[in-house]
Amino acid sequence: MSIKLRYNVWHCDFVSPSGKRIRQSLGTANKKLAQELHDKLKSDIWKVERLGEEPEYLFEEACLR
């Protein structure tokens, strides 16, 4: 499994289809929610890299760019 409990918070660690390593905190202590967030993150990255979909950005992220 590519989620790990560290300091009472779940973290994910996996490799994207392009070979980039993704490591980040999922920000929750609930294992079921952490697994759902991991699966969504992994599928979103796969859609962007393999299907060519545009990544979704928050309005605040767009303003910073």
Condensed to tens digits (0 to 9), the pLDDT of residues 15-36 reads 999 899 999 999 999 999 999 9
Alpha-carbon span 35 to 30, nearest angstrom = 9
Tokens of 19: 């070979």
pTM above 0.85, yes or no: no
Strand partners, 13: 23
Query: What is the percent of the chain where pLDDT is above 90?
Result: 68
- pLDDT of residue 3 exceeding 90: yes
CB 21 within 8 A of CB 13: yes
Q: Are strands 9-15 and 21-25 parallel, antiparallel or unpaired?
A: antiparallel
The amino acid at 46? W
Strand partners, 64: none
